[in-house]
Structure 1
Amino acid sequence: MKHKKAWMITAGIIVVLLVIEIAASIFFYDLAIKRGPKDFLNDNEDLEVSDKAMDEFLQGDWIAWVNKQNFKEMTLTSRDGLKLKGYYLPAKKPTNKVVMLEHGYLGHAKQMGLYGKYYYEKLGYNVFMADARGHGESGGEYYGFGWQDRLDLIDWTNLLAKKLGPGSEIVYHGLSMGAATVLMASGEKLPKQVRAIVADSPYNSVYDLFAYQMKRMYHLPAFPILDGTSIVTKIRAGYSLKEGSALHQVEKADVPILYITGNADTFVPTNMTHDLYEHTNSPARILTVNGANHGESFVLAKKKYLATLSSFLHEYVQ
């Protein structure tokens, strides 16, 4: 009788723990991956940027530039049936060069005008920006964190290559989640037109990013909650958190990659970018900007950023 009672108590505890695990997994899926407002990022110290960067993000002259441009709207149906929206800006003078800009988590395409203005005005590129799935005017009820988005990027690339012709030269330039997207794409068989990749403030995998944030924000270990969240994500969004690995992808890359990071980045720690750089199979460079937090490098070290970018593109884009 005592053994039976002990077994029932143990079984009860297991059931309770399982229920807690399932509830926590669904909670964190809804918190970070399900499309919708993300209040948990409000007042996040890791996302605080300098006054200079904030002024540029919110009031920079690139905003007026974006608003003045006559972007041509494009649409794409993803491989899993989502309607995606993109925006194409032909260069002032005909050229075969195009930059495809990938925005960050909770952002939207035209925010990448901060970088697009330089490519358009100074380098004379055609510019393309798309709303990632779950963002802006694109469909989707979840965020892909780069993994599902990598296939969308390749499909957009094929569409643009067809538009511009087989001799086009394409550059991928992504920020944060967008940087992870272009790196996750790098390990796939890319269209031959893709000549160079720029990854600003990337993370090495979705799982590792979440593990870091769970510990930093909630003082929780990754296991078992994050593993449960990964299962929920696989069921609801079609990918697991460990599948979404930029690190594994760059080990297969054959397109040159320029990495950019700030050594004061606490939202996506700098060591992730350096880890990616060290594991990259293709020719790679890295720029580390002193004192820059997440996504601040372009503003805080603009001259150095653009000099490094121009040198990199000059080497790999004819």
Structure 2
Amino acid sequence: MNYSEITFKSDDIKLKGWFIPGDSNATIVIAHGYGGNKAGCLDYAEFLHKAGYNLLLFDFRAHGESGGNWTSNGYYESDDIIAAVNYLKENFSTYAEKIGVLGISMGGKAAIIASAKTEDIDAVIADSAPAGFIESMNLRERVGMKSSKIISLFIIEDLVSYLYELQTGIDEDRNKALNYVNRMNSAMLIIHGDKDRIVPVKDAYLLYERAKKPKSIWIVNNTGHHGALQWHRVEYEGNVIRFFDLYLK
């Protein structure tokens, strides 16, 4: 795939990305998860590019090649997505008459929040997105889910929430996708594995129940955290392309 290296700003933070031209007037922004980067999204980019879409992949603040010293785990990352959308509108307008976002985990949460803040996103796919704040930190995986560790998990979650509010100025309620999903300005597809031990599948149902139409949900059997593409590739690619074709063409 041919690509151009791009740089744009969000809150005066330099973000690094790639623009990959396709054969369409629609562009899909691919938003990685917590601790990830744009290179980790190339599997998604490959099949979407084959489907004809232009793509923008970028590193969130404090990730990959981008600037910034800390992550808010969704809230300020939504501003990063909006900055990417604005960059497309200003620099690749003929390629971005319509814009979709495919967000993975934290990226899905940020995409939901972004869609509530702007009318320039036409379609969102949220893959393994947390409804709340703590889940996007992957604490369940780091601490473990054994009963002997439940008390430790609660203590760590409370401490992390407190420290993040001190650092970012964002209280936990402002950093929950669940509090934005009913204000989204775009269609949404929720994808979630029924065996997700990091972000429980109940989060997907909570988001779906509160979301406005048009909305759809795909619960993927025997699949963990953002594992649907790896373990159900043909079905995943088909569902994602059909959704974007419906709302971006």
Counterpart residue identity of residue 82, structure 2:
I
The answer for the alignment partner of 1:178 in structure 2 is: 107
Higher strand content, 1 or 2:
2
Q: Is the 8 A contact 2:113 2:184 kept in 1?
A: no
Once the two structures are TM-superposed, the CA of residue 156 in structure 1 deviates from its matched residue by: 1.2
Q: Render the CA deviation track for 1:191-224: whole Å, top value 9, x for unaligned.
A: 2xx2111111110011455697268374227766
Bigger CA drift: 229-238 or 251-260? 229-238
Letter of the 2:4 partner, please give it.
K
Contact kept in structure 2, 1:84 and 1:131, CA below 8 Å = yes
State which structure, 1 or 2, has the greater radius of gyration over its C-alpha atoms. Answer: 1
User: Of the candidates 54, 75, 83, which is equivalent to residue 7 of structure 2?
Assistant: 75
Listed as ranges, the gaps of 5+ residues in structure 2 are none
Residues 75 and 300 of structure 1, relative CA distance in 2, 3 Å threshold: same
- Counterpart for residue 304 of structure 1: 235
Percent identical among aligned pairs is 27
Indicate the residue corresponding to 1:233 in structure 2: 164
Residue 175 of structure 2 is aligned to residue 244 of structure 1: yes
| Alignment partners' CA distance in 2, 1:117 and 1:260 | 19
Q: Partners in 1 of 2:160 and 2:35 — Cα distance?
A: 20
User: For residues 162 and 220 of structure 2, what CA distance do their matches in structure 1 show?
Assistant: 37
- Post-superposition Cα deviations, 1:22-70, rounded to whole Å, max 9, x if no partner, equal xxxxxxxxxxxxxxxxxxxxxxxxxxxxxxxxxxxxxxxxxxxxxxx44
SS state of the match for residue 202, structure 1? coil
Which residue is equivalent to 1:283? 214
Helix, strand or coil at the partner of 1:251:
helix
Q: Who is 1:205 aligned against?
A: 132
Task: Describe the shift of the 1:210–1:159 C-alpha distance in structure 2 as closer, same or farther (beyond 3 A).
Answer: closer
Contact between 1:215 and 1:221, CA under 8 Å: does it hold in 2? no
CA shift, 1:164, in A, is 2.4
Aligned partner (choices 131, 154, 158) of residue 86 of structure 2:
158
Cα 1:107/1:212, change in 2 over 3 Å? closer
Correspondent of 2:39 among 87, 97, 110: 110
Measured in 2, the distance between the counterparts of 1:209 and 1:72 equals 30
Work out the CA distance in 2 between the residues paired with 1:316 and 1:249: 21
Contact 2:15 2:59 in 1 (8 A): yes
Q: Which amino acid aligns with 1:240?
A: D
Gaps of 5+ in 1: 1-68
TM-score (normalizing by structure 1): 0.71
Matched, 1:120 2:49: yes
Distance in 1 between residues matched to 2:19 and 2:138, nearest whole Å: 36
Partner SS for 1:148: helix
* 1:261–1:97 Cα change, 3 Å: same
What RMSD over aligned residues (CA atoms) do the two structures have, in Å? 2.2
Q: 1:224 to 1:291 in 2, by over 3 A?
A: closer
2:72–2:164 contact (8 Å) kept in structure 1:
no
CA separation in 2, counterparts of 1:296 and 1:262?
7
Deviations 1:86-105 (A, max 9, x none): 111112x4x21111000111
Equivalent of 1:196 in 116, 123, 127: 123
1:248-278 CA-partner distances (Å, limit 9, x unpaired): 1101113100111111111111111111111
By how many angstroms is 1:178 displaced?
1.0
| Amino acid in the other structure paired with 2:214 | P
Kept in 2, the 8 Å contact 1:84–1:137? The answer is yes
What's 1:266 paired with?
Answer: 197
What pairs with 1:86-101 in structure 2 (closer than 5 Å)?
86-91=17-22, 93=23, 95-101=24-30
Deviation at 1:119, TM superposition (A): 1.0
Q: Deviations over 1:116-154 (max 9, x none)?
A: 001111x11111101011100111221221111001110
